[in-house]
C-alpha cells in the first residue's frame, strides 16, 4: 500500500471512527483502525464488536493494500501534523507503515488487515431512506432519555418504528419517556420496528454534516444488526433484543392543569435552581398558582441539604385548571428544554404524584415528554 491524503481529511476521518475503537478489550486488534484502499479513496474502519464505523476520504493511490495500526497512536500523530499531504507506505514483509508529512518520518508497526473482524457491507436492497436533518433532530430529542446504567438492556435503546408513513422514536429510563413522531414523504410497504442502542444513534447524529441529506437504513446479520449508510460513512450497530415497554399505555390522556410558559424563561430558572438542587438529589418544587384571568405564577423552590442554602424564583405563565404543587428532578427538565426549539412549552399535570407531560407549543411538532414527579416533604 502506498497512498497520499490530506492531513485535515485524515484527521477528520480518525476523529469519527475512533469512537468505535475498543479501549479495554483483551483483543489488541480492536484497538486498531483498519486502513484500506478502494479505487480513488481510502476507507478507515473501527469496531468494538457492538458498534462499527467506516469513513471514506479521497486519496491518491499509487499501490493498493490494507493494514491496521494502533488507533490512538496514529490519531495523536496525525493531529500533530501540519495541514499538508500525508503519505502512507506499507512494508508488507514486517507490516510496518511509514508515515511521511513534510520533513517528518514515522514508522508504526501494524497488524495484518486479515486479523480485523469482518464488518457487514451496506446493501441497498430493502434499505429505507430517511431525511438526515429530520432523523438527527429526532435523535437529539429522544436518545437522551434512554437509561445509562440500568440492568435492563431494552432501556439502553431507542424504539424505532415505521408504520406506513409515520416514523416514531421513543426512549425511557423508567423515570421519563421521550416520544417523537414525524410524517414521511413516502410510506413503506412493510412495517419496520427495532430497538437501537441510544449510544449508536448519538454517534450517527455526531458523524453527520450539512452535506448528508439522506441516510439509508438496512438490517443485516440476520436482522441482528442495523447499518446506516451516508455519503461518506457507514455506521453498523448491534440491535437490542427484547420487548420494549408499551409506552403509549403510560402516557396520560387528560390533564387537570395546563401551563404555558416561555421555554427560555423556564430553562433559565431550571439552570439557576440546578446549582442549589445538586445537593438535594436535583429536586426542585414547583408551586403553580392560577389567578382568575388565567395568569399564572410558577414558584420554583429548592434547598441545599449540606450547605443549608435555598433558592426561590418566580416564572410568569398562562395556565388553566387547578393550582398544583409538584416536584421534579431538575436535570430531567433541563434535558428536555435544551432540545425544544419552540418559543413556548406546555406543562400538563394532574396530581402531585402523577406523571406530567411537557410538549412544545407548536401544532407542527409531535413531541411528548412524560416525566415522573419526585417525592417531597
pLDDT of 288 > 90? The answer is: yes
Residue 330 parent element (H or E): helix 330-337
| 202 CB burial (10 A radius; 0-12, 13-18, 19+) | middle
Q: Is the pLDDT of residue 244 over 90?
A: yes
CA atoms within 13 A on the CB side of 251: 19
- Is 128-248 CATH 3.40.50.720? no
Res 364: pLDDT: 85
Residue 234 pLDDT more than 90? Answer: yes
Where do the DSSP E strands lie in 230-374?
233-238, 257-262, 283-290, 295-303, 310-321, 324-329, 344-349, 356-360, 366-371
Q: Give the CA angle between residues 71, 72, 73 to the nearest 5°.
A: 95
> Do the domains 252-371 and 128-248 match in fold?
yes
E-strand ranges in 7-58 read: 32-38, 41-47, 51-58
Rounded to whole angstroms, the Cα distance separating 290 from 82 reads: 62
| Helix (H) or strand (E) segment spanning residue 308 | none
Q: pLDDT: is 26 or 237 the higher one?
A: 237
Per-residue pLDDT at 299: 98
Residue pointed to by grid coordinates 513534510: 102
Pick from 40-44, 191-195, 218-222: least confident:
218-222
Least confident range of 86-90, 188-192, 245-249: 188-192
Q: What is the pLDDT of residue 222?
A: 80
pLDDT at 189 over 90: no
In the chain, the percentage of residues whose pLDDT exceeds 70 is: 100
The Cα 357–Cα 350 span in angstroms is: 10
Q: How confident is the model at residue 287 (pLDDT cuts 50, 70, 90)?
A: very high
- pLDDT tens across 74-88, in order? 999 999 999 999 999
Residue boundaries of the structural domains of the chain: 2-115, 128-248, 252-371
For residue 31, what pLDDT is reported?
Answer: 96
What's the average model confidence in pLDDT over 267-291?
A: 95
pLDDT for residue 290 is more than 90: yes
Rounded-to-integer distance, Cα 3 and Cα 65, Å: 9
Q: How far is CA 185 from CA 28, 138, 153, 268, 364, in A?
A: 45, 16, 32, 37, 15
Task: Check residue 63 and give its pLDDT.
Answer: 97
Which is the CATH superfamily of the domain at 2-115? DNA Polymerase III, subunit A, domain 2 (3.10.150.10)
The pLDDT assigned to 363 comes to 80
- 357 — pLDDT class (breaks 50, 70, 90): very high
Across the range 22-51, mean pLDDT stands at 94
> In the predicted model, is pLDDT for residue 306 greater than 80?
no
pLDDT of residue 131: 95
Question: Average pLDDT, stretch 156-171?
Answer: 95
How far is Cα 113 from Cα 33, in angstroms, rounded to an integer?
Answer: 9
Query: What mean pLDDT comes out for the span 1-25?
Result: 95
The model's pLDDT over 86-104, given as tens digits with 9 standing for 90+, comes to 999 999 999 999 999 999 9
pLDDT tens-digit series, residues 104-157: 999 999 999 999 999 999 998 888 999 999 999 999 999 999 999 888 999 999
Q: Residues of 260-274 as b/e, b for ≥16 C-beta within 10 angstroms?
A: bbbbebbbebbeebb
Residue 307: pLDDT over 80 = no
Mean pLDDT over all residues of the chain?
95
Give whole-number Cα distances, 277 to 173, 175, 253, 282, 325, in Å.
Answer: 21, 18, 31, 4, 17
Q: Kindly state which CATH superfamily the domain 252-371 is placed in.
A: DNA Polymerase III, subunit A, domain 2 (3.10.150.10)
- 377 has pLDDT over 80: no
Residue 136 is predicted with a pLDDT of: 96
Q: pLDDT confidence of 61, banded at 50, 70, 90?
A: very high
DSSP 8-state assignment for residue 191? -
Cell 438492556 identifies what position?
153
CB 96 within 8 Å of CB 110: yes
Amino acid at each position: 500500500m502506498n497512498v497520499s491524503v490530506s492531513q485535515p481529511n485524515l484527521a477528520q476521518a480518525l476523529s469519527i471512527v475512533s469512537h468505535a475503537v475498543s479501549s479495554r478489550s483483551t483483543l489488541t486488534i480492536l484497538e486498531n483502525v483498519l486502513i484500506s484502499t478502494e479505487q480513488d479513496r481510502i476507507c478507515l474502519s473501527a469496531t468494538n464488536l457492538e458498534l462499527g464505523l467506516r469513513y471514506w476520504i479521497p486519496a491518491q493511490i499509487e499501490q493498493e493494500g490494507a493494514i491496521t495500526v494502533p488507533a490512538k497512536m496514529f490519531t495523536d500523530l496525525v493531529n500533530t501534523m501540519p495541514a499538508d499531504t500525508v503519505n502512507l507506505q506499507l512494508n508488507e514483509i514486517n507490516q510496518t507503515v511509514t508515515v511521511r508529512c513534510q520533513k517528518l518520518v514515522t514508522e508504526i508497526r501494524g497488524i495484518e488487515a486479515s486479523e480485523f473482524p469482518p464488518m457487514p457491507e451496506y446493501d441497498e436492497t430493502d434499505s429505507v431512506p430517511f431525511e438526515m436533518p429530520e432523523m438527527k433532530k429526532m435523535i437529539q430529542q429522544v436518545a437522551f432519555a434512554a437509561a445509562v446504567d440500568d440492568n435492563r438492556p431494552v432501556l439502553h435503546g431507542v424504539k424505532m418504528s415505521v408504520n406506513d408513513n409515520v416514523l416514531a422514536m421513543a426512549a425511557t429510563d423508567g423515570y421519563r419517556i421521550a416520544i417523537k413522531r414525524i410524517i414521511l414523504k413516502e410510506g413503506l410497504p412493510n412495517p419496520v420496528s427495532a430497538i437501537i442502542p441510544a449510544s449508536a444513534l448519538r454517534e450517527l447524529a455526531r458523524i453527520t454534516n450539512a452535506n448528508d441529506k439522506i441516510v439509508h437504513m438496512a438490517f443485516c446479520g440476520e436482522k441482528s444488526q442495523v447499518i446506516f449508510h451516508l455519503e461518506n460513512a457507514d455506521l453498523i450497530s448491534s440491535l437490542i433484543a427484547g420487548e420494549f415497554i408499551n409506552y403509549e399505555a403510560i402516557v396520560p390522556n387528560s390533564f387537570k392543569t395546563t401551563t404555558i410558559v416561555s421555554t427560555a424563561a423556564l430553562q433559565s430558572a431550571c439552570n439557576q435552581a440546578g446549582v442549589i438542587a445538586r445537593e438535594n438529589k436535583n429536586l426542585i418544587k414547583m408551586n403553580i398558582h392560577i389567578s382568575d384571568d388565567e395568569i399564572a405564577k410558577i414558584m420554583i423552590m429548592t434547598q441545599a441539604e449540606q450547605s443549608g442554602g435555598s433558592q426561590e424564583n418566580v416564572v410568569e405563565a398562562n395556565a388553566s385548571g387547578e393550582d398544583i404543587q409538584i416536584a421534579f428532578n431538575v436535570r430531567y427538565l433541563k434535558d428536555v428544554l435544551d432540545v425544544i426549539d419552540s418559543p413556548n412549552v406546555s406543562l400538563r399535570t394532574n396530581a402531585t404524584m402523577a406523571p406530567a407531560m411537557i410538549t412544545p407549543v407548536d401544532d407542527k411538532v409531535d413531541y411528548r415528554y412524560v416525566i415522573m414527579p419526585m417525592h417531597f416533604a
